[in-house]
């Protein structure tokens, strides 16, 4: 009987974790204002940890183009600066904002710098990388420009590693499929 009760408790905890969505988390905007992810409820979101001094930094161009292509259909990109890999995002939030807007003309929402791995990992990234919450998209962030595609219900649909560009057929196909689900959402 005790074993059955323990199993039920474990199952209940797993079900509660599976029901959690990104909408339960909040970041700060790059300007320091609270930015609850629930503001994107009903949209398709591509969440990307970014860095200014990375070999993948030119992906900002493709990120902006992808955002421009789909933003009127219920799509948003959220850039999340992180300095976890080779100190490739050393600047302040204002320096990051200036860099992104002047060099890459970024218009999609940018958040304040957070940690995406390690002991000081942001709670959102702890959730995104938790293999218990999502075995197919969980796992430690390996480098800058890791991308998470989030459906209109707040659940992670797909994860794309840094070398997969935002304008690749793999990513755009997943975005278009997710946007197609907006009609039934």
Instruction: Count CB atoms within 10 A of the CB of residue 170.
Output: 11
Strands (E), the chain: 26-28, 34-36, 44-50, 75-81, 147-150, 156-160
- Measured CA to CA in angstroms, residue 63 lies from 116, 132, 168 at distances of 19, 29, 11
- Among the options 21, 28, 41, 54, which is catalytic? 54
* 140 contact partners, CB below 8 Å, separation of at least 6: 117, 129
* Rounded Cα–Cα distance for residues 66 and 64 (Å): 5
Q: What are phi and psi of 103, to 5 degrees?
A: -85, -35
100 is catalytic: no
Which residues are identified as catalytic? Answer: 54
């Amino acid at each position: 009987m005790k074993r059955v009760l323990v199993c039920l408790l474990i199952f209940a905890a797993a079900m509660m974790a599976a029901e959690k969505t990104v909408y339960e988390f909040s970041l700060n905007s790059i300007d320091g204002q609270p930015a609850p992810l629930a503001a994107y409820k009903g949209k398709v979101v591509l969440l990307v940890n970014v860095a200014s001094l990375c070999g993948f930094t030119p992906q900002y161009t493709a990120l902006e183009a992808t955002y421009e292509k789909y933003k009127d259909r219920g799509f948003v990109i959220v850039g999340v600066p992180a300095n976890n890999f080779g100190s490739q995002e050393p600047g302040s939030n204002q320096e990051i904002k200036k860099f992104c807007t002047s060099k890459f003309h970024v218009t999609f929402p940018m958040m304040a710098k957070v940690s995406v791995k390690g002991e000081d990992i942001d709670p959102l990234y702890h959730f995104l990388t938790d293999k218990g919450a999502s075995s197919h998209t969980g796992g430690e962030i390996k480098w800058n420009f890791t991308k998470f595609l989030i459906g209109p219900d707040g659940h992670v649909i797909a994860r794309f590693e840094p070398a997969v560009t935002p304008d690749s057929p793999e990513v755009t196909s997943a975005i278009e499929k997710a946007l197609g689900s907006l009609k039934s959402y």
